[in-house]
A = this chain, B = another copy of it.
Amino acid sequence: MREGISLAVVRRLPRYYRFLRELMANDVTKISSKELGVRMGYSASQIRQDFNCFGGFGQQGYGYNVDYLYNEIGKILGVEKKYKAVIVGVGNLGHAIAGHINFEKRGFRLIGLFDIRQDIVGQEVGGKPVMHMDELEAFCRKNKPTVAVLTLPRDEAGAVAKQLIELGIKGLWNFSNGDLELESDEVIIENMHLGDSLMTLCYRITDSIE
Protein backbone atom coordinates (compact mmCIF):
# COMPACT_ATOMS: atom_id res chain seq x y z
CA MET A 1 0.00 0.00 0.00
CA ARG A 2 1.29 3.49 -0.81
CA GLU A 3 2.92 4.91 2.23
CA GLY A 4 0.63 6.79 4.56
CA ILE A 5 -2.53 6.25 2.54
CA SER A 6 -5.24 4.44 4.44
CA LEU A 7 -7.98 2.38 2.86
CA ALA A 8 -10.44 4.91 4.30
CA VAL A 9 -8.91 7.65 2.16
CA VAL A 10 -8.84 5.40 -0.89
CA ARG A 11 -12.53 4.62 -0.45
CA ARG A 12 -13.36 8.32 -0.58
CA LEU A 13 -11.59 8.83 -3.91
CA PRO A 14 -14.36 7.40 -6.12
CA ARG A 15 -16.83 9.68 -4.37
CA TYR A 16 -14.66 12.72 -5.06
CA TYR A 17 -14.41 11.52 -8.63
CA ARG A 18 -18.20 11.35 -8.96
CA PHE A 19 -18.78 14.75 -7.41
CA LEU A 20 -16.15 16.35 -9.61
CA ARG A 21 -17.75 14.84 -12.71
CA GLU A 22 -21.07 16.38 -11.63
CA LEU A 23 -19.37 19.75 -11.20
CA MET A 24 -17.87 19.49 -14.67
CA ALA A 25 -21.27 18.59 -16.10
CA ASN A 26 -22.56 21.79 -14.50
CA ASP A 27 -19.70 23.84 -15.97
CA VAL A 28 -18.06 24.53 -12.63
CA THR A 29 -14.35 25.02 -13.31
CA LYS A 30 -13.00 25.94 -9.90
CA ILE A 31 -13.98 24.98 -6.35
CA SER A 32 -12.63 25.58 -2.86
CA SER A 33 -12.21 22.82 -0.32
CA LYS A 34 -14.91 24.54 1.70
CA GLU A 35 -17.48 24.51 -1.11
CA LEU A 36 -16.62 20.95 -2.06
CA GLY A 37 -16.96 19.98 1.59
CA VAL A 38 -20.44 21.46 1.86
CA ARG A 39 -21.58 19.51 -1.19
CA MET A 40 -20.07 16.24 -0.04
CA GLY A 41 -20.70 16.48 3.68
CA TYR A 42 -16.99 16.55 4.57
CA SER A 43 -15.11 19.29 6.38
CA ALA A 44 -12.74 21.46 4.37
CA SER A 45 -9.82 20.23 6.45
CA GLN A 46 -10.77 16.60 5.79
CA ILE A 47 -10.67 17.29 2.07
CA ARG A 48 -7.31 19.07 2.26
CA GLN A 49 -5.95 16.21 4.37
CA ASP A 50 -7.20 13.62 1.86
CA PHE A 51 -5.70 15.47 -1.10
CA ASN A 52 -2.42 16.01 0.71
CA CYS A 53 -1.98 12.22 0.78
CA PHE A 54 -1.49 12.49 -2.99
CA GLY A 55 0.53 15.67 -3.08
CA GLY A 56 -2.09 18.39 -2.80
CA PHE A 57 -3.59 19.23 -6.23
CA GLY A 58 -4.03 22.93 -5.55
CA GLN A 59 -3.15 26.06 -3.75
CA GLN A 60 -4.86 27.12 -0.58
CA GLY A 61 -6.96 30.27 -0.99
CA TYR A 62 -7.09 29.78 -4.73
CA GLY A 63 -9.37 26.79 -5.07
CA TYR A 64 -9.00 23.59 -7.04
CA ASN A 65 -9.19 23.37 -10.80
CA VAL A 66 -12.09 20.91 -11.21
CA ASP A 67 -10.95 19.47 -14.52
CA TYR A 68 -7.40 18.93 -13.34
CA LEU A 69 -8.50 17.45 -10.03
CA TYR A 70 -10.91 15.06 -11.77
CA ASN A 71 -8.20 13.84 -14.13
CA GLU A 72 -5.62 13.46 -11.38
CA ILE A 73 -7.97 11.45 -9.18
CA GLY A 74 -8.88 9.33 -12.19
CA LYS A 75 -5.19 8.58 -12.74
CA ILE A 76 -4.69 7.69 -9.09
CA LEU A 77 -7.70 5.37 -9.21
CA GLY A 78 -6.38 3.87 -12.42
CA VAL A 79 -9.49 4.33 -14.57
CA GLU A 80 -7.35 3.91 -17.69
CA LYS A 81 -5.92 0.55 -16.63
CA LYS A 82 -8.34 -1.65 -18.56
CA TYR A 83 -7.63 -4.69 -16.40
CA LYS A 84 -9.30 -7.74 -17.89
CA ALA A 85 -12.31 -8.95 -15.90
CA VAL A 86 -14.55 -12.02 -15.92
CA ILE A 87 -17.93 -12.52 -14.27
CA VAL A 88 -18.52 -15.88 -12.62
CA GLY A 89 -22.20 -16.56 -12.00
CA VAL A 90 -24.67 -15.14 -14.51
CA GLY A 91 -27.91 -15.17 -12.56
CA ASN A 92 -29.94 -11.99 -12.15
CA LEU A 93 -27.15 -10.23 -10.29
CA GLY A 94 -24.46 -11.21 -12.80
CA HIS A 95 -26.82 -10.11 -15.57
CA ALA A 96 -27.43 -6.77 -13.86
CA ILE A 97 -23.72 -6.14 -13.37
CA ALA A 98 -22.80 -7.12 -16.92
CA GLY A 99 -25.57 -4.91 -18.26
CA HIS A 100 -25.39 -1.82 -16.07
CA ILE A 101 -21.87 -1.39 -14.77
CA ASN A 102 -19.62 0.60 -17.04
CA PHE A 103 -16.44 -1.39 -16.52
CA GLU A 104 -14.49 0.61 -19.09
CA LYS A 105 -14.91 3.84 -17.16
CA ARG A 106 -13.76 2.23 -13.95
CA GLY A 107 -10.48 0.64 -14.98
CA PHE A 108 -11.67 -2.70 -16.36
CA ARG A 109 -12.62 -4.51 -19.53
CA LEU A 110 -15.13 -7.33 -19.33
CA ILE A 111 -13.80 -10.22 -21.39
CA GLY A 112 -15.82 -13.26 -20.32
CA LEU A 113 -18.82 -14.58 -18.42
CA PHE A 114 -19.21 -18.03 -16.92
CA ASP A 115 -21.99 -20.12 -15.45
CA ILE A 116 -22.81 -23.80 -14.94
CA ARG A 117 -26.45 -23.73 -15.96
CA GLN A 118 -27.07 -25.09 -19.44
CA ASP A 119 -30.00 -22.73 -20.04
CA ILE A 120 -27.69 -19.75 -19.57
CA VAL A 121 -24.51 -21.01 -21.26
CA GLY A 122 -24.42 -19.75 -24.85
CA GLN A 123 -26.76 -16.82 -24.18
CA GLU A 124 -25.48 -13.33 -24.92
CA VAL A 125 -25.20 -11.14 -21.86
CA GLY A 126 -23.74 -7.66 -22.09
CA GLY A 127 -22.85 -8.43 -25.69
CA LYS A 128 -20.82 -11.55 -24.83
CA PRO A 129 -21.70 -15.24 -24.89
CA VAL A 130 -21.82 -16.96 -21.51
CA MET A 131 -19.31 -19.83 -21.32
CA HIS A 132 -19.51 -22.99 -19.27
CA MET A 133 -17.46 -23.20 -16.10
CA ASP A 134 -15.60 -26.13 -17.64
CA GLU A 135 -14.02 -23.61 -20.01
CA LEU A 136 -12.85 -21.28 -17.23
CA GLU A 137 -9.41 -22.75 -16.76
CA ALA A 138 -8.43 -22.79 -20.43
CA PHE A 139 -9.87 -19.31 -20.87
CA CYS A 140 -7.87 -17.90 -17.96
CA ARG A 141 -4.65 -19.55 -19.08
CA LYS A 142 -5.07 -18.06 -22.52
CA ASN A 143 -6.48 -14.61 -21.72
CA LYS A 144 -5.04 -13.94 -18.26
CA PRO A 145 -7.82 -11.90 -16.68
CA THR A 146 -6.75 -9.81 -13.67
CA VAL A 147 -10.09 -9.67 -11.89
CA ALA A 148 -13.12 -11.87 -11.32
CA VAL A 149 -16.57 -10.72 -10.27
CA LEU A 150 -18.12 -13.36 -8.02
CA THR A 151 -21.89 -13.37 -8.40
CA LEU A 152 -22.55 -16.95 -7.48
CA PRO A 153 -24.06 -18.54 -4.38
CA ARG A 154 -22.04 -18.26 -1.19
CA ASP A 155 -21.54 -22.03 -0.90
CA GLU A 156 -19.78 -22.12 -4.26
CA ALA A 157 -17.86 -18.85 -3.95
CA GLY A 158 -15.03 -20.15 -1.79
CA ALA A 159 -14.00 -23.03 -4.05
CA VAL A 160 -14.29 -20.93 -7.21
CA ALA A 161 -12.27 -18.12 -5.65
CA LYS A 162 -9.52 -20.59 -4.78
CA GLN A 163 -9.47 -21.92 -8.34
CA LEU A 164 -9.33 -18.39 -9.77
CA ILE A 165 -6.42 -17.44 -7.54
CA GLU A 166 -4.52 -20.53 -8.70
CA LEU A 167 -5.23 -19.35 -12.24
CA GLY A 168 -3.56 -16.02 -11.54
CA ILE A 169 -6.49 -13.74 -10.65
CA LYS A 170 -5.24 -10.74 -8.65
CA GLY A 171 -8.52 -9.27 -7.48
CA LEU A 172 -12.02 -10.43 -6.59
CA TRP A 173 -15.15 -8.30 -6.55
CA ASN A 174 -17.24 -10.44 -4.27
CA PHE A 175 -21.04 -10.24 -4.17
CA SER A 176 -21.50 -13.62 -2.51
CA ASN A 177 -22.76 -13.18 1.02
CA GLY A 178 -20.10 -13.12 3.67
CA ASP A 179 -16.49 -12.01 3.66
CA LEU A 180 -14.29 -14.35 1.68
CA GLU A 181 -11.67 -15.69 4.03
CA LEU A 182 -8.78 -16.78 1.89
CA GLU A 183 -5.29 -17.69 2.86
CA SER A 184 -3.64 -16.09 -0.13
CA ASP A 185 -2.05 -12.73 0.49
CA GLU A 186 -1.73 -12.23 -3.23
CA VAL A 187 -5.32 -11.43 -3.95
CA ILE A 188 -7.23 -8.23 -3.26
CA ILE A 189 -10.82 -8.82 -2.23
CA GLU A 190 -13.45 -6.14 -2.44
CA ASN A 191 -16.55 -7.44 -0.69
CA MET A 192 -19.94 -5.94 -1.57
CA HIS A 193 -22.20 -6.41 1.40
CA LEU A 194 -25.69 -5.49 0.32
CA GLY A 195 -27.06 -6.84 3.60
CA ASP A 196 -24.82 -4.55 5.66
CA SER A 197 -26.12 -1.54 3.79
CA LEU A 198 -29.71 -2.66 4.36
CA MET A 199 -29.11 -3.07 8.10
CA THR A 200 -27.50 0.37 8.26
CA LEU A 201 -30.64 1.76 6.64
CA CYS A 202 -32.75 -0.01 9.27
CA TYR A 203 -30.74 1.57 12.08
CA ARG A 204 -30.88 5.03 10.54
CA ILE A 205 -34.65 4.88 9.98
CA THR A 206 -35.25 3.77 13.55
CA ASP A 207 -32.95 6.50 14.77
CA SER A 208 -34.81 9.11 12.71
CA ILE A 209 -38.38 8.21 13.62
CA GLU A 210 -38.12 7.20 17.27
Contacts and interface: CB of A to CB of B under 8 A. Distances in A.
**Number of identical protomers:** 2
A138 interface: no
Contact of A147 (B15, B77, B95, B205): B205
A170 B77 contact: no
A11 B193 CA distance: 11
A70 interface: no
A106 interface: yes
A173 B188 contact: no
Contacts of A92: 92-93, 95-96, 99-100
Interface in A111-168: 146-147
A170 B209 contact: yes
Given A92-B95, A207-B1, A14 B78 contact: no
A60 interface: no
Nearest to A188: B204
Interface of A: 1-2, 7, 10-11, 13-15, 17-18, 22, 76-79, 81, 83, 91-93, 95-97, 99-103, 105-108, 146-147, 170-171, 173, 178-179, 186, 188, 190, 192-209
Contact of A77 (B14, B76, B97, B203): B203
A15 B202 CA distance: 14
Given A78-B206, A79-B199, A102-B195, 6 more contacts: A93-B100, A171-B204, A188-B201, A188-B208, A190-B197, A190-B201
